[in-house]
Amino acid sequence: MMILILCCNAAMDRTYQVANFQPGKFHHTSDFQVVAGGKGVNVARALSILGHKSTVTGFAGGTVGRFVVAKLRRLEIKPAFVKTAEESRLVQNFIDPVAHTETRVDELGPLVSPRELRRLEQRWTKLLAEEAQIAIIAGSTPRGSPDTLYRDLVAAAKQAGVPVIVDAHDALLAQSIAAAPTIITPNLAELQALVGRQLAVPQGVQQGAGELIQQGIELVLTSLGAVGAIAVAPSGCWLVEAPQVEVVSSVNGGDAMVAGLAAATVEGLPLTEQLKWAVAAGTANASVFGAGLLDRSSVEDLLADTSLTPLD
């Protein structure tokens, strides 16, 4: 059995720590990291650290694509990308530990062809049939991809009997709702966009997520950043409060949250424990420099301070 992950927009992810960062100024970094990136790749890396192997598919091309593949293989993550004619993207994050700001510069990524899209859909279907235990669709898509791509890939997963988590935004997330993914993990702004109105915390979030549950989704886990998350499922609603830590970087905390949720799911833990693992993993990621570089012992330590409160 395996965890199957879709990362349509793989990247080289460069993160710089720069004190007193200002546009238009010359800076030296106090620390930096270069890793394979894209939300799905970040999820795979966090899962690897948590002790779970995965297969990652999507698009990857050029020098950056080869870099991503090499990095994944070193972590014993199986790369199964569709090669693109155009170069994959570069993502740059600038973290200012003094001003507590984060600035991101994200390239658009390659323009994919209809043939490359067909190859991805075929590969996704094939990988689903290869004993996929759970599927994760995460992040953005490159130019040339239709807004309905995730909807169609969710439908393929459900037809194969594989539960699927969607961590996306904008039209990709909105369109995927029609196929009723098993789990979605929006932040508050993304949930508000889905339901078309502002939502108060916690009652409005409960109501908005409840409307999506009525459309066939089994769990809506809405991230509230450092506060934690609100989980809504047919069996109940919970406020999952995050433990307090010194935040080094919130970059890709949502990816770690998805990884924690998926890890607890495949380990057969009950839903309430899955929720705690998700929030504890996201919190652990915030306390380190870099995306998806948490460690399992830190997550386990934070679990005791991650509280779960039922909501009416």
For the chain, give every domain's residue range.
2-311
Q: Is residue 48 a contact partner of residue 75, using CB atoms and an 8 Å limit?
A: yes
DSSP string for residues in 242-286: PPP---S--TTHHHHHHHHHHHHHHTT--HHHHHHHHHHHHHHHH
Residue 170: the pLDDT is 95
Residue 65: the pLDDT is 97
Q: How far apart are CA 7 and CA 13, in angstroms?
A: 14
The domain defined by 2-311 folds into UDP-N-acetylmuramoyl-L-alanine:D-glutamate ligase (3.40.1190)
Per-residue model confidence as pLDDT tens for the chain (312 residues): 799 999 999 999 998 989 999 888 899 888 888 999 999 999 999 999 999 999 999 999 999 999 999 999 999 999 999 999 999 999 998 988 899 888 989 998 899 999 999 999 999 999 999 989 999 999 999 999 999 999 999 999 999 999 999 999 999 999 999 999 999 999 999 999 999 999 999 999 999 999 999 999 999 999 998 899 999 999 999 999 999 887 766 667 899 999 999 999 999 999 999 999 999 999 998 877 665 567 888 899 999 999 999 997
Q: Which of 1, 267, 42, 252 is nearest to 135 (CA)?
A: 1
Instruction: Provide the 8-state DSSP code for 113.
Output: -
CB count, 10 Å around CB of 297?
9
Q: Which of 210, 204, 166 is nearest to 185 (CA)?
A: 166
Q: Which of 139, 137, 179 is nearest to 159 (CA)?
A: 179
Q: Which two tokens stand for residue 53?
A: 């192997």
Residue 251: the pLDDT is 65
Q: Is residue 7 a contact partner of residue 58, using CB atoms and an 8 Å limit?
A: yes
Q: Which two tokens stand for residue 297?
A: 């012992």
Q: Which two tokens stand for residue 255?
A: 């990816």
Q: How far apart are CA 251 and CA 200, in angstroms?
A: 25
